[in-house]
Amino acid sequence: MTAIDVPLPEVRNSSHEARSTTHLSQCTLCEAHCGIHVTVTDGKVSRIEGNPDDVLSKGYICPKATAMGGLHDDPDRLRTPMRRVGDGFEPIGWDEAFAEIGARLRRVRRLHGPRSVGMYLGNPAAHSSGAGYGMLLRMALRTPNFFTASSIDQMPHEYAAWRVFGSNVLMPITDIDRTHRLVVLGANPAVSNGSLSIMPGAKRRIKAVRDRGGKVVVIDPRRTETARLADQHVAVRPGGDVFLLLGMLNVLVGENLCDTARIAEQATGWAELGRLVASATPEAVAERAGVDADTIRTLAREHAAAESAAIYARIGICQQETGTLVSWLVMVINTVTGNLDRPGGTMFSTPIVDAPRLAKRLPLKHGKFTDRSGRHKSFRSELPAVAMADEILTPGDGQIRAMITYAGNPVSSIPQNGRLDEAMSTLDLYVAVDMYVTETSRHADFILPPVSPLERADVSLLTTVFSVRNNVRYQHRSFAPPAGAKEDWEILTRLALELLPAPLRRVPAALRSRLIDAINPMRVATLVLATGPYGRLRRGRSGITMNDLRSSRGGLDLGPLQPRLREVIATRDRKVALAPAEFVQAAAAYLREPADRAERTYDLQLIGRRQLRSNNSWLHNVPTMTGGNNKCTVLMHPEDALARGLAQGDTVRVASAIGEIEVPLDISEDIRPGTVAVPHGWGHQGTGWRHASALPGANVNALHDPDQVDAFTGTAAVNNTWVTVTAG
């Protein structure tokens, strides 16, 4: 069974290529969900192009889009469920797999309690409707041992939004298409195309800021692809952002550059904020920020003076011990300069599922439960992923004995001191919902593969919430799924059903199919659309319907972001909380810290680096993605290379207190002296990816200490690891 039977919409059928048809579809490899045209010749993908009618991506695609074809045709992609036999796998039928898994899961739970079953939900879950069904399975499991990619990603933004705006959902979006000043802090949208401010074709949008007379500033230890498009690049020290922003606030307050009338109307905490930053003069913070005082002063003045301005901060600052604090300070600066909730600043979206308005009804707790050591508190009802290996390996009550991973490769993606690889092989039961034998799923007892992304029809609700313009788009299928194949949502629902009490579990197969189909993603999306802000129930006959959406050539544009702070703010007093006490205290402690002058064994700061043709840990098996400069290397400034007697292309050893890897050296003026950068998601040797396994490269997470985390959320602070680099 599949989601819904839609006819394959064909946009072209060219006569000279008699056996070619072109289908409307969507690339779902990242949040951008760019519209694509997929040409199929003799049953194989022969061409992928941008869909000019797509209301958000407008014809743009990045080089990864063609990998949608490579994935679809990849002979290493699993097409049937697999069961472990010895060191290998054998195919197994779906019903048999669910029955065996169900029996074993229930047994583990019966013997050891709900805490003994853990789950990891990975990044691509968020790129289809599957995530919602992953949450359904999580509810059925009733385990505190639930982990997601968010805790190596955006959790700091969510925690700060919860404290400042009253809900983790209320993460303001950068109004890039109207702003007069864009400050990019720890993000590289020219490569990533934006995350949580989804901006496909980011390069074009950034150029447009400058074309309309605006200014673009990039604050990043590396002169990135985005920095090349900017008016100004500020090479901050990794982890220095907290000092830089406190210094900017000192100037904003001290020079009376803030919109105090608007602050009085919108916010509380102004006085506490003033007291906090009184001593944080640009001179006092410059060394720790790694940015000179004049630059800090100018950044503050220009932000206040701009007709509209937005700081867009993303993963570079999240993956720091100061992740939550910096996310908070970004919200504060955008607010006090009058740039919250106004066009060209940062705003909340009005998506088809009105998550910002519903936020008030979604209560959130911090510390409802903890990991067994008591060190990590739950947030958003989950525990940080860095706790996973300990929860599996440490014996005792509540030890994890069975795991489910869905769309995740945590052995590669999460710093675990190398222990997660071992941990996954010690489990009584491990089920991977994945289409590849990866660093993680190679340890599975069962691998349950979904259809290829080109075989699923979908409406991604999550991406509509975080786009820089309100819109809704439809993912058509380019291929009919093979008989019997399943989508993620159905696999996850079937797993959840296995955890129901016996009478409910044992309903006849035909009835079960009908029940499952009743909650298929298209039905959910149709309901959401009808009841949401643009739907028939609210708007009568002028409301949009699933038919309108499905018959569109590139989705429906729902207009620019609208001011709606007063409607959506979820704090009790309905004001923006500028100075939550725990943040003020933590920031004050940082300000008291002296600049670090200690002699160090490890003398270089290691940060991450995303590559245009890589996609986290899982795209390297598509040969067209892995040539040229898409390699796992360490980027180093010429001065640092010279001081160590290292030359371009040398194999070098990068060592931290935790581990070491060997990679080729790439010398470049683009990186700040004293800083080195290695991309994550490499080192595939020994996986089922035949092409990727043969590539050189190592897993950078072997160097990152799982104990080094953002203090509030436990998010892995991988962007500030001290290392040495020596000849290999």
Ligand X SMILES: Nc1nc2c(c(=O)[nH]1)N[C@H]1C(S)=C(S)[C@@H](COP(=O)(O)OP(=O)(O)OC[C@H]3O[C@@H](n4cnc5c(=O)[nH]c(N)nc54)[C@H](O)[C@@H]3O)O[C@H]1N2
Q: How far apart are CA 281 and CA 559, in angstroms?
A: 41
* Least distance CB 315 / Mo ion (angstroms): 6
Q: Are 529 and 555 in contact (CB under 8 A)?
A: no
Q: H/E element holding 276?
A: helix 270-277
Asked whether position 390 contacts Mo ion by CB under 5 A, the answer is no
* Least distance CB 176 / ligand SF4 (angstroms): 15
* Least distance CB 178 / ligand X (angstroms): 21
Choose one: 151-159, 218-226, 271-279, 552-560; the region binding Mo ion (CB under 5 A).
Answer: 151-159
Sole residue written with tokens 């074009």: 204
Non-local (6+) Cβ contacts of 168 within 8 A are: 158, 159, 161, 162, 364, 380
Q: Which of residues 318-347 bind ligand X (CB under 6 A)?
A: 319-320
Site size toward ligand X, by CB under 6 A: 61
Choose one: 2-10, 308-316, 360-368, 395-403; the region binding ligand X (CB under 6 A).
Answer: 308-316
Non-local (6+) Cβ contacts of 536 within 8 A are: 530, 543, 544, 545
Asked whether position 667 contacts ligand SF4 by CB under 6 A, the answer is no
Asked whether position 193 contacts ligand SF4 by CB under 6 A, the answer is yes
* Least distance CB 494 / Mo ion (angstroms): 27
In three-state secondary structure terms, 370 is strand
Non-local (6+) Cβ contacts of 591 within 8 A are: 243, 246, 276, 279, 280, 284, 285
Asked whether position 606 contacts ligand SF4 by CB under 6 A, the answer is no
Choose one: 28-36, 159-167, 271-279, 700-708; the region binding ligand SF4 (CB under 6 A).
Answer: 28-36
Asked whether position 65 contacts ligand SF4 by CB under 6 A, the answer is yes
Choose one: 146-154, 322-330, 442-450, 467-475; the region binding Mo ion (CB under 5 A).
Answer: 146-154
User: Applying CB under 5 A, which of residues 153, 175, 371, 391 lies at the interface with Mo ion?
Assistant: 153
Q: How far apart are CA 512 and CA 495, in angstroms?
A: 13
Asked whether position 392 contacts ligand X by CB under 6 A, the answer is no
In three-state secondary structure terms, 705 is coil
> Residue 517 to residues 55, 141, 513, 642: CA-CA distances in angstroms?
30, 21, 6, 63
* Least distance CB 50 / ligand SF4 (angstroms): 8
* Least distance CB 212 / ligand SF4 (angstroms): 23
Strand partners, 185: 219, 313
Asked whether position 225 contacts Mo ion by CB under 5 A, the answer is no
Asked whether position 633 contacts ligand X by CB under 6 A, the answer is no
Q: Are 724 and 604 in contact (CB under 8 A)?
A: yes
User: Applying CB under 6 A, which of residues 56, 62, 161, 448 lies at the interface with ligand SF4?
Assistant: 62
Asked whether position 29 contacts ligand SF4 by CB under 6 A, the answer is yes
Handedness of CA 314, 318, 319, 323 (dihedral sign): positive
Question: Crossing angle of helices 155-165/323-336, nearest 10°?
Answer: 50
Asked whether position 636 contacts ligand X by CB under 6 A, the answer is no
Locate the DSSP E strands across 239-361.
Answer: 267-268, 310-313, 346-347
- Name residue 32's amino acid: A
What's phi and psi for 526, nearest 5 deg?
Answer: -60, -45
Asked whether position 33 contacts ligand SF4 by CB under 6 A, the answer is yes
Contact positions vs Mo ion (CB under 5 A): 153
Contact positions vs ligand X (CB under 6 A): 30, 122-124, 128, 149, 152-153, 185-189, 191-192, 195, 219-222, 224, 236, 238-239, 241, 314-317, 319-320, 406-410, 413, 433-436, 438, 450, 453, 488, 607-608, 610, 612, 614-618, 680-681, 700-701, 704, 718-719
Contact positions vs ligand SF4 (CB under 6 A): 27, 29-30, 32-34, 61-62, 64-65, 193, 200
